[in-house]
Every structure is written in structure tokens, then in C-alpha cells.
Amino acid sequence: MKVDSVDLFYLRMPVVEDIGDGSQDSLLCRVVANGHVGWGEAVCSPTVGIAAWITPMSHSGCHPVIDSVLGMELNDPADIANIYNQVRKNSFYGLLQSDLLISGIEIALWDCLGRSLQAPIWQLLGYKKSEPKLPYASVLFGDTPEQTKQKAVDIKNSGFQAIKFGWGPFGTSTVAADEAHIYAAREGIGSEAKLMIDAGTVFKESVDQAAKRLPALKQAQVLWYEEPFDGYAISSYGQLAKCEPKVSLAGGEGAHNPYQAKQLIDYGLVDFIQIDAGYVGGIGNAYKVAQYASSKGIKYVNHTFTSQSALSSSLQAYAGVAQSDISEYPMEPKSLCQELTLNKVEIDSQGMIKAPEKPGTGIEINIDAVKKYLVDVELKVNGKPLYLTPRI
């Protein structure tokens, strides 16, 4: 079969706040091939992603992404890899946005292929079974330590055995203020649960500032210290990894190709590599990183802070990797992402989750929600419309 059509839907909350919450809008991608439909989400600014799809060619290395996707063969995983490679080749100077856009389209291609073959994506990747993962509740820090503690208590009472606090006020004032939040989170979740801290790249490349938080992180028995630096500050990660007291580092959500993720493992010395399938180039690239991490004895973790569709997509790449046994689980998405799917990745009686056994991602998109949050967009060049909001 061939890729007959690709539609991009810009979805957005009525009000978008200036906070670290990517669930406020979405670029939803729909692929149709021989009557089969697949869906995926790209982690990018929706209108910029749309522009990367249809922007007029600038030169041989700057084609619109559409040139490398429509009409292409879609019969097996090798065809998806070929489409991705064509985008990398033909839209090279359109990166980074081309990388982000093709991530969502690539996921939709996998979903479409899986549904056509009546097989889950993880099975098409070669895994024999979908291994259980411990979901950790992923939330923002409270404005105060008291709010952070209450969040932790509420999440513990809801049955979660692991929690990650991130962004918010962390790293924006004093070391003492950050320590208060760290200790409040540990007190709220209890001594037995896993606790992770996400600095949200707040220290940019300052090893000294990031290291000042290590004693409190160590005392609170934090499992990992996530993204203290910008994703490209590889040497800063490597230096912090050698500081005392030793606290495991995590990062990688900003990697938009496997090469960046591998550098973070090899030179950033992270103990946990976190990959977002909607950012790294799709499920195929995420799978490559998962396999590389396993070969290096590093735990692979998904990055997912938005919808259940994105969660299932992110699980596919390491579904069969038993030693990578923890998963980010979005806890505070906006209503857009809460309503986007008709089903979800269920937490079982043991408090664990798995990539679904159903074909494709196993997640069904709620068309009514797409209609509800759809933004009407028209992009023109010289008066000629290149993009109009697709019909549902």
C-alpha cells in the first residue's frame, strides 16, 4: 500500500498559559494508506510544524516534508525507515522543525501499518512480549513546599509508587528553597516510594549551580536528577556526573535524533536516557536509542507529559526491554489531552503499565475532541493557499 494522504490538525486550549506544560496544544497527524488510518503527535509548535510540511522548496536540501512522504510505499517497517531517511535527506536545512514534524508523522505511519497488519507496533519492532513498567506520576512542583508536599500526599494516596516533580520554582531562587521542595516531596510520598527531581534545564550549563543541590538530592534518596542543563550541554552533564555526592543523572528528552541521545550516554554519563518519540524522529529512532542504551547498561525511560496516545507511542520503543522498567505517566494534562483519546494505557492491580496488545498504538482518537479543540488555520504564499485546516 501507499501513503494516500497526511493531514495535520492544530489543536489548542482556549487559553494557553506561559508555564512548562506541553499539553496545552498539539499537532495531531493523520496518515491514510489503502483505507487504513494511523495517528501520531509531534512535539513542536503546531503552526511551525505545518509550515515545515508545506513550505515551498528553497533548494535541494530544503524541500517541504510533504515531498518525501506522500505516495511512498508503506508495507513494512523498512518503508517507514525509508520515508524518515528521505525527509532527513531532502529537508536537511529545514531541521529542527522537520525532525519534530516527521516524529509525529512517523508515529502515525507505524500506527497505520500496525492496524493494517493487525499487530501492535512493539511486535513489529521485534519484541516477543510487552514487559511491565512502573509508572511514575509526572507533575510540576507546587508554588510552595507545602503545596509540593500536598501534591505528593495526594498522588501517594491515589496508588502511585513513584513520583517526579519538576519545573515550577525549582532553581529560580535559592538553594535552601529548592531543598525545602525536595524534602517536602520526599515527606509527602513516603520513604519507600521512588522520587525523581526534574530541574527543567534551569541551570543551562552551570555545573556549580546544579551541584549545590546534590547534597539534598542525595539525602532525600532521589532516584535521578533530571535535565539540570540544556540538552546540548553534554560536557556539563559529564562533569556533574563525577561530582560528589553521587546522584544519578537523567536527560535526553531534547534529543531530536539518535546521535544526540548517544552522545548524552557516552559523554554526558547519564544513568537514565529519556526519549520522547514525538521529538526524536519517531518510534524507529526511539527504538534505536533503547537498544543502544541496553548495550551500554543504561536504563531507557520514555518522556511523556501530554496524552495517552503519546504515552502508548512512547512505550512501543522499549516495550520488550525488561531492565528498562519505569515509565513517565502524565498526571496533570489539560482537558485537551485528557479528552483526546477514547481509551488509555491502564494501570493494573500491581500498579504497573504495559504497551497495549492491540494493533498499532492500541489507542483510539476521540474525533469529537479533535473537533472541539481544532484551530482554523490558512497558510498562503503569493495569495495561493498551501494549507487549509483539514476536514475531520
In this predicted structure, the answer to whether residue 339 has a pLDDT above a threshold of 80 is yes
Q: Which residues pair with 301 in a beta bridge?
A: 274
Q: Tell me the CA distances in angstroms from 107 to 148, 152, 286, 340, one per residue in order.
A: 35, 33, 11, 16
Q: What percent of the chain has pLDDT over 90?
A: 90
Q: How far is CA 215 from the centre of its chain?
A: 29
What is the strand order of the sheet 326-330 is part of?
299-302, 272-275, 249-251, 224-226, 194-198, 162-166, 134-140, 326-330
Q: What is the mean pLDDT of residues 57-83?
A: 94
Residue 391 and residue 371 in contact, taking contact as beta carbons nearer than 8 Å:
no
Query: Looking at the domain 5-120+367-388, which fold is it?
Result: Enolase-like; domain 1 (3.30.390)
Task: Determine the residue type at 158.
Answer: S
Q: What percent of the chain has pLDDT over 70?
A: 99
Nearest Cα to 319, choosing from 286, 272, 271?
286
Q: What is the mean pLDDT of residues 3-24?
A: 93
Confidence of residue 332 (pLDDT cuts 50, 70, 90): confident
- Which pLDDT tens digit goes with each residue over 248-303? 999 999 898 999 999 999 999 999 999 999 999 999 999 999 999 999 999 999 99
- Which pLDDT tens digit goes with each residue over 143-154? 999 999 999 999
Instruction: Provide the pLDDT for residue 94.
Output: 61
Instruction: Provide the pLDDT for residue 95.
Output: 58
Instruction: Provide the pLDDT for residue 127.
Output: 98
Query: For the chain, what is the mean pLDDT?
Result: 95
Nearest Cα to 390, choosing from 138, 55, 60, 31?
31
> What is the rounded distance in angstroms from the CA atom of residue 326 to the CA atom of residue 126?
20
Residues of the chain with CATH 3.30.390.10: 5-120+367-388
Q: Which triple of cell numbers denotes residue 217? A: 538530592
Decide: helix, strand or coil at residue 299: strand
Q: What is the mean pLDDT of residues 121-126?
A: 98
Confidence of residue 96 (pLDDT cuts 50, 70, 90): low
Residue 162 and residue 326 in contact, taking contact as beta carbons nearer than 8 Å:
yes
Q: What is the CATH number of domain 124-339?
A: 3.20.20.120
- Which pLDDT tens digit goes with each residue over 340-381? 999 999 999 999 999 999 999 999 999 999 999 999 999 999
Instruction: Provide the pLDDT for residue 291.
Output: 98
> What is the rounded distance in angstroms from the CA atom of residue 121 to the CA atom of residue 363?
12
> What is the rounded distance in angstroms from the CA atom of residue 12 to the CA atom of residue 25?
4
Residue 130 and residue 354 in contact, taking contact as beta carbons nearer than 8 Å:
yes
- Which pLDDT tens digit goes with each residue over 173-199? 999 999 999 999 999 999 999 999 999
330 against 127, higher pLDDT: 127
Which of 31-40, 60-69, 281-290 is least confident? Answer: 60-69
Residues of the chain with CATH 3.20.20.120: 124-339
Decide: helix, strand or coil at residue 88: helix
